[in-house]
Amino acid sequence: MSSRLIRIASVAAVVVASTAGIASPAFAQQASQVSVVHGIPGQPVDVYVNGKKTVENFQPSTVAGPLELAAGTYDVALTKPGEAVTSALLQNKSLAVPAGKNLSVAAHLDAAGKPVLTAFANDTAMIAAGKARLVVRHLAAAPAVDVRAGGKPVFSALTNPNEVKADLPVGTVNADVVLAGTSTVAIGPKDVGLKAGTSTIVYAVGSAEGKTLGLAAQTISGLAGAPTGMPAGRGPVSDGLGSIFLLVLAGVALGGFAFVTRRVVRRGSR
Amino acid sequence: MRRWAGLVVGMVLVALISSCAGPNSGTFGEDVVQGLATTSPAPPVTTVPSVPVRQGPAPARAAVQPVRLAIPAIGLTARVVPAGVDGNGEFSVPPSVDEVGWYRFGAGLGEPAGSVVVGGHVDDARSGPGAFYRLGDLVAGDQVSVVGEDGTTRAFRVVAKEQVPKKGLDLTPYFSAEGSARLTLFTCGGQFDGAARSYVDNVIVTAVPSG
Domains: count for chain B: 1
Around Cβ B119, how many Cβ atoms within 10 Å? Answer: 25
Which residues face A181 on adjacent strands?
A: none
Beta carbons of A249 and B12 less than 8 Å apart: yes
> What's the half-sphere exposure (Cβ side, CA atoms, 13 Å) at B115?
28
Beta carbons of A231 and B170 less than 8 Å apart: no
Residue B164 · residue B192 · CB < 8 Å: no
Nearest to A203 by CA among A218, A189, A215, A191: A215
User: Using a CB-CB distance cutoff of 8 angstroms, which residues of chain A are in contact with residue B126?
Assistant: 240-241
Residue B195: pLDDT band by 50, 70, 90 thresholds?
confident
Is residue B9 assigned to a domain? no
Is residue B104 assigned to a domain? yes
Beta carbons of A229 and B55 less than 8 Å apart: no
Beta carbons of B5 and A231 less than 8 Å apart: no
pLDDT, one tens digit per residue, over A85-127 is 999 999 999 999 999 999 999 999 999 999 999 999 999 999 9
- Residues comprising chain A, all counted: 270
CA-based radius of gyration for chain A: 32
Option in A58, A234, A246 nearest B53 (CB): A58
**pLDDT value, residue A125:** 96
**pLDDT value, residue B52:** 67
**pLDDT value, residue A256:** 57
**pLDDT value, residue A20:** 39
**pLDDT value, residue A236:** 79
- For CA atoms A134, B177, A97, A214, give the dihedral sign: negative
Option in B15, B189, B199 nearest A246 (CB): B15
B12–chain A Cβ distance below 8 A for any pair: yes
pLDDT, one tens digit per residue, over B131-190 is 999 999 999 999 999 999 999 999 999 999 999 999 999 999 999 988 999 999 999 999
Q: Decide if pLDDT at B193 tops 80.
A: yes
Residues 6+ apart with CB under 8 A from A113: A141, A207, A209, A210
Is residue B141 assigned to a domain? no
**pLDDT value, residue B46:** 37
CA closest to A214 among chain B residues: B56
Which residues face A165 on adjacent strands?
A: A135
Dihedral Cα B184, B185, B187, B191, nearest 10 deg: -70
How far B55 CA lies from chain A's nearest CA (Å)? 5
Backbone angles phi, psi at A195, to 5 degrees: -100, 140
Distance CA B149, CA A151 (A): 35
Residue B61: pLDDT band by 50, 70, 90 thresholds?
low
pLDDT, one tens digit per residue, over A38-49 is 999 999 999 999
Spans in chain A with pLDDT lower than 70: 1-29, 237-270
Residue A194 · residue A170 · CB < 8 Å: yes
Beta carbons of B19 and A236 less than 8 Å apart: yes
Distance CA A86, CA A142 (A): 31
Q: Which domain holds residue B166?
A: 30-40+62-135+149-199
Is residue B47 assigned to a domain? no
**pLDDT value, residue B189:** 93
Is residue B119 assigned to a domain? yes
Distance CA A215, CA A206 (A): 8
Is residue B51 assigned to a domain? no
pLDDT, one tens digit per residue, over B90-146 is 999 999 999 999 999 999 999 999 999 999 999 988 888 999 999 999 999 999 999
Cα B98–chain centre separation: 15
Beta carbons of A224 and B174 less than 8 Å apart: no
The average pLDDT across B24-40 equals 79
Residue type, B14: V
CA closest to A249 among chain B residues: B12
**pLDDT value, residue B176:** 92
B1–chain A Cβ distance below 8 A for any pair: yes
The average pLDDT across B38-48 equals 50
**pLDDT value, residue B165:** 96
Residue B34: pLDDT band by 50, 70, 90 thresholds?
confident
Which residues face B192 on adjacent strands?
A: B199
Beta carbons of B53 and A59 less than 8 Å apart: yes
| ipTM of this complex | 0.77
Residue A91 · residue A79 · CB < 8 Å: no
Longest CA–CA span in chain B (Å) reads 79
- Tell me the C-alpha to C-alpha distance, in Å, between residue B174 and each of A3, A228, A245, B2, B114: 50, 12, 37, 48, 9
Beta carbons of A231 and B90 less than 8 Å apart: yes
Burial class from Cβ neighbours inside 10 Å (0-12, 13-18, 19+) for residue A241 reads exposed
Is residue B80 assigned to a domain? yes
**pLDDT value, residue B32:** 86
How far B157 CA lies from chain A's nearest CA (Å)? 22
- Tell me the C-alpha to C-alpha distance, in Å, between residue A198 and each of A192, A195, B61: 12, 6, 12
How far B9 CA lies from chain A's nearest CA (Å)? 6
How far B23 CA lies from chain A's nearest CA (Å)? 11
Is residue B93 assigned to a domain? yes
Option in A67, A239, A263 nearest B48 (CB): A67
**pLDDT value, residue A80:** 96
